[in-house]
Structure 1
Amino acid sequence: MAGHNPMLYDLPVALGCPYTVHIHDYMWFCQRISLMGLKDRYCGEPDVAGCEACIALLGRKIEEDVPVAFYRTRAAQFLKTAQTVYAPSQDAAERMQKQYSGLTCHVWRLEDDAALCAEGEARLQAAFPVPEERVPGVAVMGAGRGERVRVCVIGGIGKEKGYDVLLGAARDAALRDLPLEFVIVGHTPDDEALVRTGHVFITGEYQEDEAIPLIASLQADYAFLPSVWPETWCFTLGLAWKAGLKVVAFDLGAPAERIRATKQGILIEADLLEESLNDVLLQLGRIGALKA
């Protein structure tokens, strides 16, 4: 309940009313909210002492300045007395239950993945037939595209969503003159740094009803989710599928769970360095492993 007065924890009891809890992120036990530790990567969910050390070094992302032990004890009591606790994925439910012994966390999925994938397949078959020659990229990507592998990245790509991963990959692609380009359908904290590499094009922010046509029009080989925290759901994964793209993602969180279940993508190691990551992305594009 970041951003709200801590007295909110006592409100249901004061009103004498039942309540349910819907898990959105990991603020229930992580004062940095998204389990991001050193080097802006997944922390591994250490014990209380490890969390205190992390906060001392990196700081909190909540307004309260309270010890981790107290913070978790209060959350445990609030969750325990809830009528029902829901998580959007099995992965998120299991992470919550690992932290809070005895907690029952029910899975309430936010989208129907089978329907999303079916919609994408239908779109490929009808709405967006593949032309004889692929539409050129825009801006820097239009010139000399040749046989470049085109990777689509969707959404607002901040630290948690993999900005540093993407920047490292783009710089490596420039350094080695790789036939690899990234199209970001969305925005980042520093678009200019990415564009300067000559291997990135950024559309900028989009309206909800523009997303699918925009993604499809770019004719990427596949989509890539560079998120480095164990997301509890990830709506951009659904957007990629609806646009007819298969997806490469790190083997972490709900995206990995969903890709395994649908088989509409490939999972890769979460700790790959940019050189190895680019080698994998190139190989996947060249062999057509992610073509419908």
Structure 2
Amino acid sequence: MEIKVYKKCYLVKRNYMEYKVYNISDNKKILKIKGNFDGFINISISDKTDNGYYFKRISHFNDSVVLLNGERMQNNLYFSNKKSLLFKRTVKNDENLFYWIEKVEIDKDNEMTIGNIDEFEITEAGDLYCRGWISNSIHQVKNIYACFETLSNKENVQKVPLVQRRRSDVRDLFKNNEFLFSGFNFKCSISTTEDLALYISYYSESGVKKMFVKNICRNSDNLNSISFQEGKLKDSIEYEEATYIIPNKYWEFKKHKVEKLIFKHNLGGGAEIFIQKQIDLWRKKEEICALSYISESNQYRIELFTFEKKYTFFCVHLEWFMKEILVDLNEIWINELVSYPNVYNVLKWIDIISDAKKISVNIFIHDYFCVCPRIVLLNGRDEYCRLPDSEKCDNCLKETGSEETNSITLWRRHWKRVLQKCESIVCFSNDTKRLLNLVYKDKDIENKMIIKPHEITPLRKVKIKNDNMITIGLLGNLTEHKGLYKVLQLLNCIKDNNKNNVRIVLIGSCDYPIADDNFFVTGKYIVDDLPSKIEQYNVNVFFMSSICPETFSYTVSEMMELGLPIISYNLGAQGERVGRYNKGCVIPLETEISDVLKILLDKAKESRGYFD
């Protein structure tokens, strides 16, 4: 028997995983599989059963989701009109994650249903809100119902008709397939206090389809003993970790007095490192809620940091969560709003709630999102825009296809209202304050700005050996706004001038493949390992190649700590700080690349005793 499983996981060791496959009837292990799984996995099973199989994961990994046509989904319904294959999700010990069971279809030869639960909320009062979509590979989807059955005896206690909705986003997701779609949503009160199983059923020309969604467990004593029952599976299975059970997610918030809310993102980088350090400091004195948006699954990640534990929840209906759950809120910190959908609505909500509840609002300026939705202030030609007039800004937003707005005036008007409400606007450099003043020209906003540079990790000074090679060092992640094209021009200049004793070493990573004998990439680094890394590659001079104004630049801090010469363009916090550094040299952004190379070589030779 051939099983096709559409599965992609984001694992610690790439896509490597190990599974044991069990017969669902008698829990008998059939085989063990391992390897790099990406896309459809073909598995041969000689044992035959009418009841199906389930997998148990062996390896340790992070969050995994089903991937369909390049889009990630969570809370998945993914099954055929015959059997279902279960993926049981492992939970990290240090977090209380209440999601999900993932289902994938076994038999692709016949009619297939794919769907997703986009939103699933249960209030303490027992009201349930659910939103999602279903698609059928052959027939039109009609008459969708939510069915509730008791877990104890499978008695049908409630059946709720669902409102069908058009879902153009889903249609676009599967535009290359012949699926027929229907969105749905419903809101109802659960009339019993028993533990329930929720199914979604619908009618197609081939009959009624019934699909398991979630177990709703009211009794916490049942969390590790509840049995799973799927509509077409005769026997139940008892798992050690019933991680697919959805308890009332917000009970924990009711137990704690959460007064501080943080808006942040999960995109990595200095902003995320900074706020995590802040959270670790703040949670010693108070309990905190951190909010971020997960674009892959169209939902918000809510982290509750208590004195002892961290709880993680997910929701889509953000306004309800803010209104009903964060009742004790008195302080908001905006660390990042990059990646949030409809930033105007978020800013409007912050504006309204700060007035209604007299909540203190504060912001950390990690980038220039409050100035322009393009964040790094590069125009459509990937050049620093130098903040032109509003007409040119609007043209740029239209040309680059900004998802946020086509009007820079409207964008800054919304941000200005929030900045005026702020008690503190924390800038990490004088140049950041200068740029904000240049844009907003508001004394009230200026008076709230605080200059507070990041703390710097102390590093030992390096000792570089003199050899026949001059090494120009780059630090961090090399992207377009970090000067990728400047580095490519520099490599061409080295080659054109036959500088065979000159190389560029990137201590970090680069998404763009650079095939050049004079260019080397070491990969991501640990800050404490930097001195030994620099000595290993005999770096003589650093080039801070960023072509947009930074708000601080951790990499400049690390370069300065190492004690080597630094060449930087004269803009942003990087130009400000390198200009004050006794081994620093700032140059205009328009400097010809041949002159940039000459300056780098001169500084390297001057510093390390090289002579022609």
1:56 corresponding residue in structure 2: 398
1:91, distance to aligned residue in structure 2 (A): 0.1
Distance in 2 between residues matched to 1:189 and 1:277, nearest whole Å: 24
C-alpha separation between the residues in 1 aligned to 2:581 and 2:593?
Answer: 27
After the TM superposition, which residues 161-200 of structure 1 pair with which residues of structure 2 at under 5 Å, given as runs? 161-178=482-499, 179-191=501-513, 193=514, 196-200=515-519
- Whether 2:588 is the aligned partner of 1:276: answer no
Alignment of 1:1-292 (within 5 A): 1-5=337-341, 6=343, 7-12=345-350, 13-14=352-353, 16=357, 17-60=359-402, 63-102=403-442, 103-104=445-446, 105-111=449-455, 119=458, 123-124=460-461, 128-131=462-465, 134=467, 146=468, 148-178=469-499, 179-191=501-513, 193=514, 196-288=515-607
1:97 Cα deviation (Å)? 1.1
Per-residue Cα deviation, 1:120-178 (whole angstroms, up to 9, x for no partner)? 5xx33xxx5455x55xxxxxxxxxxx3x3211100001001000000110112112212
Q: CA deviation at 1:38?
A: 4.6
Distance in 1 between the 2:409 and 2:464 partners? 56
- Higher strand content, 1 or 2: 2
| Structure 1 residues 235 and 290: CA distance shift in structure 2, 3 A | farther
Q: Which has the higher contact order (CA 8 A, sep 6+)?
A: 1
Deviations 1:28-74 (A, max 9, x none): 121211111253121110111110111222332xx423522111100
Contact 1:32/1:59, CA 8 A, preserved across alignment? no
Indicate the SS of the match to 1:31: coil
The number of equivalent residue pairs is: 263
Find the residue that maps to 2:567 and give its secondary structure.
Answer: strand
Q: Which runs of 5+ in 1 are unaligned?
A: 135-145
Q: Which residue of 1 aligns with 2:319?
A: none
Extract structure 1 runs of 4+ deviating beyond 6 A: none
Call closer, same or farther: CA 1:69–1:203 in 2, change over 3 Å.
same
Contact 1:91 1:232 in 2 (8 A): yes
- The answer to whether the Cα contact below 8 Å between 2:464 and 2:540 also exists between their aligned partners in 1 is no
Structure whose alpha-carbon radius of gyration is higher: 2
Check 1:84–1:213 CA distance in 2 against 1; reply closer, same or farther (3 A cut).
same
Answer whether contact 2:475 2:506 (CA < 8 A) is retained. yes
Within 2, Cα distance between the matches of 1:45 and 1:52? 12
CA contact (8 A) 2:473 2:543 kept: yes
CA distance 1:54–1:290, shift in 2 (3 Å): farther
Q: Distance in 2 between matches of 1:289 and 1:252?
A: 27
- Tell which deviates more after alignment, 199-208 or 230-239: 199-208
- Structure 1 length normalisation: TM-score? 0.82
Distance apart, 1:246 and its partner CA: 2.5
Structure having the larger proportion of residues in helix: 1
Q: Does the CA contact (< 8 Å) of 2:405 and 2:411 recur in 1?
A: no
